[in-house]
A = this chain, B = another copy of it.
Amino acid sequence: MSEGSWIRKMFEEGIALKQRFGAENVFDLSLGNPIMEPPVEFLRELKQLAEDPLPGMHRYMENAGYITTRAAVAAQLSSDTKPGFSADDIIMTCGAAGALNVVLGTLLERGDEVIVFAPYFVEYIHYINRFYGVTKIVPSDEQFIPRLDALDAAIGPRTKAIIINSPNNPTGVVYSEVFLKQLGELLRNKEKQFGTQISIISDEPYRKIIFDSLKYSSPLCHHPQSIIVTSHSKDLALPGERIGYIAVNPQYSQKKELIDGLIYCNRTLGFVNAPALMQHIVGRLQGVTVPVAEYEQKRNFLYESLTVMGYSLVKPQGAFYMFPKSPIEDDVAFVRELQQWQVLTVPGRGFGSPGYFRISYCVDERTIKGALAGFRKAALKVKLG
Protein backbone atom coordinates (compact mmCIF):
# COMPACT_ATOMS: atom_id res chain seq x y z
CA MET A 1 0.00 0.00 0.00
CA SER A 2 2.75 2.51 0.84
CA GLU A 3 4.09 2.50 -2.73
CA GLY A 4 0.63 2.40 -4.19
CA SER A 5 -0.53 5.50 -2.45
CA TRP A 6 1.98 7.94 -3.93
CA ILE A 7 -0.14 9.14 -6.85
CA ARG A 8 -3.15 9.50 -4.59
CA LYS A 9 -1.04 11.18 -1.90
CA MET A 10 0.18 13.81 -4.36
CA PHE A 11 -3.38 14.28 -5.60
CA GLU A 12 -4.56 14.98 -2.06
CA GLU A 13 -1.62 17.26 -1.24
CA GLY A 14 -2.38 19.09 -4.48
CA ILE A 15 -5.92 19.82 -3.29
CA ALA A 16 -4.52 21.25 -0.04
CA LEU A 17 -1.96 23.39 -1.92
CA LYS A 18 -4.63 24.71 -4.27
CA GLN A 19 -6.79 25.71 -1.32
CA ARG A 20 -3.83 27.50 0.26
CA PHE A 21 -2.28 29.26 -2.76
CA GLY A 22 -5.18 29.33 -5.23
CA ALA A 23 -5.53 26.84 -8.10
CA GLU A 24 -3.87 29.25 -10.54
CA ASN A 25 -0.65 29.23 -8.48
CA VAL A 26 -0.31 25.44 -8.25
CA PHE A 27 1.22 23.51 -11.15
CA ASP A 28 -0.16 20.00 -10.87
CA LEU A 29 1.75 17.52 -13.05
CA SER A 30 0.88 14.56 -10.84
CA LEU A 31 -2.13 12.91 -12.47
CA GLY A 32 -2.85 11.24 -15.81
CA ASN A 33 -6.25 12.89 -16.03
CA PRO A 34 -6.30 14.65 -19.42
CA ILE A 35 -7.44 18.26 -19.36
CA MET A 36 -8.45 17.75 -23.02
CA GLU A 37 -12.16 17.44 -23.76
CA PRO A 38 -13.32 14.53 -25.96
CA PRO A 39 -13.11 15.14 -29.73
CA VAL A 40 -15.96 16.96 -31.49
CA GLU A 41 -16.97 13.69 -33.13
CA PHE A 42 -17.74 12.30 -29.68
CA LEU A 43 -19.89 15.27 -28.77
CA ARG A 44 -21.72 14.96 -32.09
CA GLU A 45 -22.54 11.26 -31.56
CA LEU A 46 -23.62 11.84 -27.98
CA LYS A 47 -25.92 14.63 -29.09
CA GLN A 48 -27.40 12.52 -31.84
CA LEU A 49 -28.18 9.61 -29.52
CA ALA A 50 -29.62 12.00 -26.92
CA GLU A 51 -31.88 13.64 -29.50
CA ASP A 52 -32.84 10.48 -31.34
CA PRO A 53 -32.41 7.53 -28.95
CA LEU A 54 -32.21 3.99 -30.31
CA PRO A 55 -34.97 1.79 -28.86
CA GLY A 56 -33.66 -0.15 -25.87
CA MET A 57 -30.25 1.50 -26.03
CA HIS A 58 -29.80 1.41 -22.23
CA ARG A 59 -30.81 -2.25 -21.78
CA TYR A 60 -28.68 -5.29 -21.05
CA MET A 61 -26.91 -6.78 -24.03
CA GLU A 62 -24.61 -9.80 -24.37
CA ASN A 63 -22.00 -9.74 -21.59
CA ALA A 64 -19.26 -9.32 -24.23
CA GLY A 65 -20.90 -6.17 -25.57
CA TYR A 66 -22.79 -5.12 -28.69
CA ILE A 67 -21.80 -7.10 -31.76
CA THR A 68 -21.74 -3.90 -33.84
CA THR A 69 -19.30 -2.23 -31.45
CA ARG A 70 -17.10 -5.33 -31.27
CA ALA A 71 -17.09 -5.60 -35.07
CA ALA A 72 -16.02 -1.95 -35.37
CA VAL A 73 -13.22 -2.47 -32.82
CA ALA A 74 -12.08 -5.63 -34.63
CA ALA A 75 -11.97 -3.86 -38.00
CA GLN A 76 -9.96 -0.92 -36.67
CA LEU A 77 -7.56 -3.17 -34.74
CA SER A 78 -7.01 -5.31 -37.82
CA SER A 79 -5.96 -2.21 -39.70
CA ASP A 80 -3.93 -0.59 -36.87
CA THR A 81 -2.04 -3.49 -35.35
CA LYS A 82 -2.39 -6.92 -36.96
CA PRO A 83 -4.87 -8.31 -39.48
CA GLY A 84 -7.44 -10.95 -38.71
CA PHE A 85 -9.54 -9.82 -35.72
CA SER A 86 -13.23 -10.66 -35.70
CA ALA A 87 -15.96 -9.41 -33.36
CA ASP A 88 -15.70 -12.66 -31.40
CA ASP A 89 -12.12 -11.83 -30.38
CA ILE A 90 -13.29 -8.63 -28.63
CA ILE A 91 -14.89 -8.16 -25.20
CA MET A 92 -16.00 -4.65 -24.29
CA THR A 93 -15.00 -3.75 -20.72
CA CYS A 94 -15.21 -1.07 -18.04
CA GLY A 95 -11.92 0.54 -19.07
CA ALA A 96 -8.44 -0.97 -19.21
CA ALA A 97 -8.40 -1.48 -15.43
CA GLY A 98 -11.55 -3.57 -15.74
CA ALA A 99 -10.06 -5.40 -18.71
CA LEU A 100 -6.85 -6.19 -16.82
CA ASN A 101 -8.75 -7.52 -13.81
CA VAL A 102 -10.89 -9.71 -16.05
CA VAL A 103 -7.81 -11.11 -17.82
CA LEU A 104 -5.91 -11.74 -14.57
CA GLY A 105 -9.00 -13.21 -12.92
CA THR A 106 -9.37 -15.61 -15.84
CA LEU A 107 -5.71 -16.63 -16.24
CA LEU A 108 -4.48 -16.87 -12.67
CA GLU A 109 -4.63 -19.72 -10.21
CA ARG A 110 -3.44 -19.02 -6.68
CA GLY A 111 0.37 -18.75 -6.68
CA ASP A 112 0.79 -18.18 -10.42
CA GLU A 113 3.47 -15.64 -11.25
CA VAL A 114 3.08 -12.48 -13.32
CA ILE A 115 6.09 -10.51 -14.50
CA VAL A 116 6.00 -6.72 -14.45
CA PHE A 117 8.79 -4.43 -15.69
CA ALA A 118 10.02 -1.57 -13.51
CA PRO A 119 9.17 1.25 -13.67
CA TYR A 120 5.55 0.10 -13.66
CA PHE A 121 2.03 1.40 -13.18
CA VAL A 122 1.60 0.48 -9.53
CA GLU A 123 -2.03 -0.67 -9.83
CA TYR A 124 -0.73 -3.79 -11.60
CA ILE A 125 0.55 -5.08 -8.27
CA HIS A 126 -2.80 -4.54 -6.56
CA TYR A 127 -4.63 -6.33 -9.38
CA ILE A 128 -2.27 -9.32 -9.26
CA ASN A 129 -2.58 -9.54 -5.46
CA ARG A 130 -6.36 -9.50 -5.78
CA PHE A 131 -6.25 -12.87 -7.56
CA TYR A 132 -3.60 -14.31 -5.25
CA GLY A 133 -0.96 -14.08 -7.98
CA VAL A 134 2.71 -13.43 -7.25
CA THR A 135 4.36 -10.40 -8.84
CA LYS A 136 7.91 -10.71 -10.13
CA ILE A 137 9.58 -7.38 -10.89
CA VAL A 138 12.12 -7.28 -13.73
CA PRO A 139 14.27 -4.14 -14.24
CA SER A 140 14.66 -2.07 -17.40
CA ASP A 141 17.85 -0.57 -18.84
CA GLU A 142 18.84 3.10 -18.81
CA GLN A 143 16.59 3.72 -21.82
CA PHE A 144 13.67 2.09 -19.95
CA ILE A 145 13.65 -0.97 -22.21
CA PRO A 146 12.98 -4.17 -20.22
CA ARG A 147 16.17 -6.18 -19.68
CA LEU A 148 15.69 -9.48 -21.49
CA ASP A 149 18.57 -11.16 -19.65
CA ALA A 150 16.82 -10.39 -16.37
CA LEU A 151 13.51 -11.56 -17.82
CA ASP A 152 15.12 -14.82 -18.91
CA ALA A 153 16.31 -15.41 -15.36
CA ALA A 154 12.96 -14.46 -13.81
CA ILE A 155 10.72 -16.83 -15.79
CA GLY A 156 9.94 -20.11 -14.08
CA PRO A 157 7.43 -22.95 -14.35
CA ARG A 158 4.73 -20.88 -12.58
CA THR A 159 5.11 -17.84 -14.88
CA LYS A 160 1.66 -17.33 -16.36
CA ALA A 161 1.91 -13.92 -17.96
CA ILE A 162 3.97 -10.79 -18.42
CA ILE A 163 2.44 -7.34 -18.54
CA ILE A 164 3.88 -4.82 -20.99
CA ASN A 165 2.81 -1.24 -21.52
CA SER A 166 3.92 0.63 -24.63
CA PRO A 167 3.71 3.64 -24.95
CA ASN A 168 4.70 3.46 -21.33
CA ASN A 169 3.41 5.01 -18.14
CA PRO A 170 5.55 6.47 -16.48
CA THR A 171 8.40 6.74 -19.03
CA GLY A 172 6.71 7.57 -22.36
CA VAL A 173 8.95 4.97 -24.03
CA VAL A 174 7.65 3.06 -27.07
CA TYR A 175 8.93 -0.50 -27.60
CA SER A 176 10.52 -1.22 -30.98
CA GLU A 177 9.62 -3.99 -33.41
CA VAL A 178 13.07 -5.51 -32.79
CA PHE A 179 12.56 -5.60 -29.03
CA LEU A 180 9.11 -7.19 -29.35
CA LYS A 181 10.46 -9.83 -31.72
CA GLN A 182 13.22 -10.74 -29.24
CA LEU A 183 10.68 -10.79 -26.43
CA GLY A 184 8.43 -13.19 -28.36
CA GLU A 185 11.35 -15.50 -29.14
CA LEU A 186 12.45 -15.54 -25.53
CA LEU A 187 8.95 -16.40 -24.34
CA ARG A 188 8.55 -19.27 -26.78
CA ASN A 189 11.93 -20.68 -25.73
CA LYS A 190 10.79 -20.57 -22.12
CA GLU A 191 7.43 -22.12 -23.02
CA LYS A 192 9.33 -25.00 -24.59
CA GLN A 193 11.71 -25.26 -21.64
CA PHE A 194 8.92 -25.48 -19.07
CA GLY A 195 6.14 -26.97 -21.19
CA THR A 196 3.91 -24.02 -20.28
CA GLN A 197 2.10 -21.17 -21.95
CA ILE A 198 3.17 -17.63 -21.11
CA SER A 199 0.80 -14.88 -22.18
CA ILE A 200 1.74 -11.31 -22.99
CA ILE A 201 -0.86 -8.94 -21.56
CA SER A 202 -0.37 -5.75 -23.55
CA ASP A 203 -1.78 -2.71 -21.75
CA GLU A 204 -2.27 -0.21 -24.59
CA PRO A 205 -4.33 2.82 -23.57
CA TYR A 206 -1.69 5.11 -25.11
CA ARG A 207 -1.37 3.17 -28.40
CA LYS A 208 -2.61 6.08 -30.49
CA ILE A 209 -0.68 8.75 -28.58
CA ILE A 210 2.64 8.39 -30.32
CA PHE A 211 5.05 11.00 -31.71
CA ASP A 212 7.84 11.59 -34.23
CA SER A 213 5.81 9.85 -36.98
CA LEU A 214 6.56 6.50 -35.31
CA LYS A 215 4.44 3.51 -36.29
CA TYR A 216 3.06 1.46 -33.41
CA SER A 217 4.53 -2.06 -33.20
CA SER A 218 2.18 -4.67 -31.82
CA PRO A 219 3.40 -7.48 -29.58
CA LEU A 220 0.61 -9.60 -31.09
CA CYS A 221 2.66 -9.86 -34.28
CA HIS A 222 5.44 -11.58 -32.33
CA HIS A 223 3.72 -13.91 -29.86
CA PRO A 224 0.50 -15.89 -30.42
CA GLN A 225 -0.36 -16.09 -26.69
CA SER A 226 -1.06 -12.37 -26.40
CA ILE A 227 -3.98 -10.27 -25.25
CA ILE A 228 -4.63 -6.54 -25.56
CA VAL A 229 -6.22 -4.66 -22.67
CA THR A 230 -7.02 -1.06 -23.39
CA SER A 231 -9.46 1.80 -23.04
CA HIS A 232 -10.65 4.97 -24.69
CA SER A 233 -9.73 6.95 -21.57
CA LYS A 234 -6.80 8.65 -23.27
CA ASP A 235 -7.34 8.43 -27.04
CA LEU A 236 -10.90 9.81 -26.73
CA ALA A 237 -10.31 11.60 -23.40
CA LEU A 238 -13.04 9.66 -21.56
CA PRO A 239 -11.33 8.36 -18.41
CA GLY A 240 -14.38 8.81 -16.19
CA GLU A 241 -16.66 6.83 -18.52
CA ARG A 242 -14.92 3.48 -18.06
CA ILE A 243 -15.03 2.22 -21.60
CA GLY A 244 -12.40 -0.10 -23.01
CA TYR A 245 -11.92 -3.61 -24.32
CA ILE A 246 -10.01 -6.87 -24.32
CA ALA A 247 -8.80 -8.18 -27.69
CA VAL A 248 -7.47 -11.72 -27.89
CA ASN A 249 -4.87 -12.55 -30.52
CA PRO A 250 -6.77 -14.43 -33.27
CA GLN A 251 -3.91 -16.99 -33.16
CA TYR A 252 -4.18 -17.63 -29.39
CA SER A 253 -4.24 -21.37 -28.77
CA GLN A 254 -7.38 -22.56 -26.96
CA LYS A 255 -8.88 -19.19 -27.84
CA LYS A 256 -12.51 -20.26 -27.42
CA GLU A 257 -11.86 -21.53 -23.89
CA LEU A 258 -10.06 -18.31 -22.96
CA ILE A 259 -12.80 -16.06 -24.36
CA ASP A 260 -15.56 -18.02 -22.60
CA GLY A 261 -13.59 -17.60 -19.38
CA LEU A 262 -13.14 -13.86 -19.97
CA ILE A 263 -16.86 -13.35 -20.58
CA TYR A 264 -17.72 -15.35 -17.45
CA CYS A 265 -15.21 -13.32 -15.44
CA ASN A 266 -16.49 -10.01 -16.84
CA ARG A 267 -19.97 -11.02 -15.65
CA THR A 268 -19.10 -12.45 -12.25
CA LEU A 269 -16.58 -9.81 -11.20
CA GLY A 270 -19.68 -7.61 -11.30
CA PHE A 271 -18.91 -5.58 -14.40
CA VAL A 272 -21.72 -7.48 -16.23
CA ASN A 273 -21.06 -5.44 -19.38
CA ALA A 274 -19.32 -2.22 -20.44
CA PRO A 275 -21.56 0.87 -20.16
CA ALA A 276 -24.15 0.68 -22.96
CA LEU A 277 -24.33 4.29 -24.17
CA MET A 278 -20.54 4.57 -24.39
CA GLN A 279 -20.42 1.29 -26.33
CA HIS A 280 -22.82 2.78 -28.88
CA ILE A 281 -20.67 5.90 -29.19
CA VAL A 282 -17.14 4.46 -29.30
CA GLY A 283 -18.28 1.87 -31.85
CA ARG A 284 -18.74 4.80 -34.23
CA LEU A 285 -15.44 6.49 -33.33
CA GLN A 286 -12.82 3.81 -33.78
CA GLY A 287 -10.97 5.94 -36.33
CA VAL A 288 -11.02 9.08 -34.16
CA THR A 289 -8.27 10.24 -31.77
CA VAL A 290 -7.69 13.38 -29.71
CA PRO A 291 -5.26 15.82 -31.41
CA VAL A 292 -1.99 14.03 -30.66
CA ALA A 293 0.03 16.96 -32.05
CA GLU A 294 -0.91 18.96 -28.95
CA TYR A 295 0.71 16.35 -26.72
CA GLU A 296 3.74 16.24 -29.03
CA GLN A 297 4.18 20.02 -28.78
CA LYS A 298 3.98 19.85 -25.01
CA ARG A 299 6.47 16.98 -24.98
CA ASN A 300 8.87 19.01 -27.15
CA PHE A 301 8.58 22.15 -25.08
CA LEU A 302 8.97 20.43 -21.72
CA TYR A 303 11.73 18.07 -22.84
CA GLU A 304 13.80 20.94 -24.24
CA SER A 305 13.19 23.19 -21.26
CA LEU A 306 14.17 20.55 -18.72
CA THR A 307 17.21 19.42 -20.71
CA VAL A 308 18.49 22.99 -20.92
CA MET A 309 18.13 23.27 -17.13
CA GLY A 310 20.37 20.22 -16.77
CA TYR A 311 17.79 17.56 -16.02
CA SER A 312 18.65 14.13 -17.35
CA LEU A 313 15.80 12.35 -19.10
CA VAL A 314 14.97 9.87 -21.85
CA LYS A 315 12.99 11.62 -24.58
CA PRO A 316 9.46 10.14 -24.51
CA GLN A 317 7.98 8.95 -27.81
CA GLY A 318 4.41 8.55 -26.69
CA ALA A 319 1.79 8.77 -23.92
CA PHE A 320 1.92 12.02 -21.92
CA TYR A 321 4.47 11.32 -19.22
CA MET A 322 8.19 11.80 -18.76
CA PHE A 323 10.38 10.23 -16.12
CA PRO A 324 13.50 12.37 -15.44
CA LYS A 325 16.27 11.36 -13.10
CA SER A 326 16.00 12.97 -9.72
CA PRO A 327 18.98 15.38 -9.45
CA ILE A 328 19.50 14.10 -5.90
CA GLU A 329 19.40 10.47 -4.88
CA ASP A 330 16.28 10.74 -2.76
CA ASP A 331 13.40 11.16 -5.20
CA VAL A 332 10.90 11.85 -2.44
CA ALA A 333 13.07 14.70 -1.12
CA PHE A 334 13.31 16.15 -4.62
CA VAL A 335 9.56 15.92 -5.19
CA ARG A 336 9.15 17.74 -1.86
CA GLU A 337 11.59 20.39 -3.09
CA LEU A 338 9.50 20.91 -6.25
CA GLN A 339 6.45 21.11 -4.05
CA GLN A 340 8.02 24.11 -2.29
CA TRP A 341 7.52 25.88 -5.60
CA GLN A 342 3.97 24.57 -6.00
CA VAL A 343 5.00 22.04 -8.65
CA LEU A 344 3.43 18.61 -8.14
CA THR A 345 5.02 15.45 -9.52
CA VAL A 346 5.19 11.83 -8.33
CA PRO A 347 8.33 10.18 -6.92
CA GLY A 348 9.79 7.29 -8.91
CA ARG A 349 9.40 4.88 -6.01
CA GLY A 350 5.66 5.12 -6.66
CA PHE A 351 6.51 3.17 -9.83
CA GLY A 352 9.08 0.87 -8.30
CA SER A 353 12.00 3.03 -9.50
CA PRO A 354 13.48 5.27 -6.80
CA GLY A 355 15.82 7.99 -8.06
CA TYR A 356 13.38 9.25 -10.73
CA PHE A 357 10.22 11.31 -10.74
CA ARG A 358 7.19 11.33 -13.05
CA ILE A 359 5.80 14.35 -14.83
CA SER A 360 2.34 14.11 -16.38
CA TYR A 361 1.90 16.78 -19.05
CA CYS A 362 -1.72 16.12 -20.12
CA VAL A 363 -2.43 19.56 -18.65
CA ASP A 364 -2.95 23.02 -20.10
CA GLU A 365 -0.12 25.22 -21.35
CA ARG A 366 -0.42 27.59 -18.43
CA THR A 367 0.38 24.76 -16.01
CA ILE A 368 3.38 23.55 -17.99
CA LYS A 369 4.82 27.05 -18.44
CA GLY A 370 4.05 27.96 -14.85
CA ALA A 371 5.90 24.91 -13.60
CA LEU A 372 9.16 25.88 -15.31
CA ALA A 373 10.12 28.45 -12.68
CA GLY A 374 9.80 25.77 -10.01
CA PHE A 375 11.87 23.27 -12.00
CA ARG A 376 14.55 25.95 -12.47
CA LYS A 377 14.64 26.98 -8.81
CA ALA A 378 14.70 23.40 -7.58
CA ALA A 379 17.54 22.62 -10.01
CA LEU A 380 19.55 25.61 -8.75
CA LYS A 381 18.87 24.67 -5.14
CA VAL A 382 20.35 21.19 -5.64
CA LYS A 383 23.13 22.73 -7.80
CA LEU A 384 22.23 20.78 -10.89
CA GLY A 385 24.68 21.01 -13.79
Contact (Cβ within 8 A) B51 A37: no
Q: Which of A95-103, A111-119, A376-384 touches B?
A: A95-103
| A275 is an interface residue with CB less than 8 A from chain B | yes
Contact (Cβ within 8 A) A60 B33: yes
Contact (Cβ within 8 A) A50 B43: yes
The CA of A269 and the CA of B123, in the complex, are separated in Å by: 10
Contact (Cβ within 8 A) A33 B59: yes
Docked complex: A81-137 residues within 8 A CB-CB of B? 94-95, 97-102, 105, 123, 126-127, 130
| A287 is an interface residue with CB less than 8 A from chain B | no
Interface 1/0s, chain A 12-52, versus B by CB < 8 A? 00000000000000000001011101100001001101110
Contact (Cβ within 8 A) A242 B58: no
By the criterion of a CB under 8 Å from any partner CB, how many residues of chain A are at the interface? Answer: 51
Q: Which of A219-227, A232-240, A332-340 touches B?
A: A232-240
Contact (Cβ within 8 A) B37 A270: no
| A372 is an interface residue with CB less than 8 A from chain B | no
Contacts of A276 in B (CB 8 A): 240-242
Contact (Cβ within 8 A) B98 A271: yes
**If the complex has contacts A50-B43, A241-B275, are A37 and B60 also in contact, measured as CB distance less than 8 A?**
no
Contacts of A53 in B (CB 8 A): 37, 43
Contact (Cβ within 8 A) B61 A270: no
Contact (Cβ within 8 A) B58 A238: yes
In the assembled complex, the CB of A125 is this many whole angstroms from the nearest CB of chain B, namely: 9
Q: Contacting A275 at CB < 8 Å: which of B50, B57, B240, B269?
A: B240
Q: Which residue of B lies closest to A277 (CB)?
A: B241
Q: Which residue of B lies closest to A57 (CB)?
A: B240
Contacts of A199 in B (CB 8 A): none
Contacts of A385 in B (CB 8 A): none
Contact (Cβ within 8 A) B56 A271: no
Q: A241-B275, A269-B269, A271-B271 are in contact. List 6 more A-B contacts (CB 8 A).
A: A47-B51, A58-B240, A94-B275, A95-B270, A100-B270, A240-B277
A-B contact pairs, 6 of them (CB 8 A): A58-B237, A97-B272, A127-B270, A240-B273, A242-B272, A242-B273
Residues of A within 8 A of B (CB): 31, 33-35, 37-38, 43, 46-47, 49-51, 53, 55-61, 94-95, 97-102, 105, 123, 126-127, 130, 237-242, 267-278
